[in-house]
């Protein structure tokens, strides 16, 4: 017997829009947790609240063609990616308006300070992840899942159909790539 989430996902894949609403309702607590993770990584005076981020992500998810969502963790990973994009769009709009068309990178984002990546800018990190995705899409997805989605190595492994050991190894590679990318920039601004 399949779980209620699996049944809803099957209905979503078959084009049932009401099933998508039911899926979001069923997973709302987890979506809220992921959104909260995103918001906690933002600056203190950020104007977008956790509930608003969940709702904006819902609207974007509802408007896009539904990808082949395999399971609960995969759906949450996609939702986390959409939340990241909502925050990036919000930052771009805010700073474009505030600066008269010029984007200033002032939106601090904490990225695992214990591992050496201290304060990064949200828009800079977004660009870096786009560059990493060109080089290795899988590594960029792992960073999104872990740091934007708050997913564990086990959850990421489940979504990707890989071993936990391989996921942890690749996450270390991705972090090393980001360290190299930002090594000259992190300390120049402080």
pLDDT score at 136: 92
In which residue ranges of the chain is pLDDT below 70?
A: 1-2, 43-46, 64-67, 94-122, 184-190
Q: How many residues does this entry show for the chain?
A: 190
Whether the full predicted model's pTM is greater than 0.85, yes or no, is no
Burial, 141: exposed, middle or buried (Cβ in 10 Å; 0-12, 13-18, 19+)?
A: buried
Torsion sign (Cα): 41, 46, 48, 49: positive
pLDDT score at 102: 42
pLDDT score at 97: 56
- φ and ψ at residue 105, rounded to 5 degrees: -90, 90
Q: Which of 57, 64, 71 is nearest to 8 (CA)?
A: 71
Element (H or E) spanning 53, and its range?
A: helix 50-63
pLDDT score at 64: 66
For residues 69 and 12, the answer to whether their CB atoms sit within 8 Å is: yes
């Amino acid at each position: 017997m399949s779980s209620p989430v699996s049944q809803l996902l099957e209905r979503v894949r078959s084009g049932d829009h009401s099933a998508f609403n039911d899926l979001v309702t069923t997973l709302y607590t987890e979506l809220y947790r992921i959104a909260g993770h995103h918001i906690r990584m933002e600056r203190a005076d950020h104007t977008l609240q956790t509930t608003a981020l969940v709702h904006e992500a819902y609207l974007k998810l509802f408007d896009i063609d539904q990808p082949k969502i395999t399971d609960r963790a995969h759906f949450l990973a996609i939702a986390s990616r959409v939340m990241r994009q909502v925050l990036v769009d919000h930052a771009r709009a805010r700073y474009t308006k505030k600066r008269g068309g010029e984007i200033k990178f002032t939106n601090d984002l904490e990225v695992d300070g214990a591992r050496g990546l201290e304060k990064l800018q949200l828009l800079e990190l977004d660009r870096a992840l786009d560059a990493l995705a060109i080089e290795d899409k899988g590594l960029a997805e792992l960073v999104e899942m872990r740091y934007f989605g708050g997913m564990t190595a086990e959850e990421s492994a489940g979504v990707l159909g890989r071993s936990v050991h391989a996921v942890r190894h690749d996450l270390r590679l991705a972090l090393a790539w980001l360290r190299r990318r930002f090594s000259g920039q992190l300390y120049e601004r402080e």
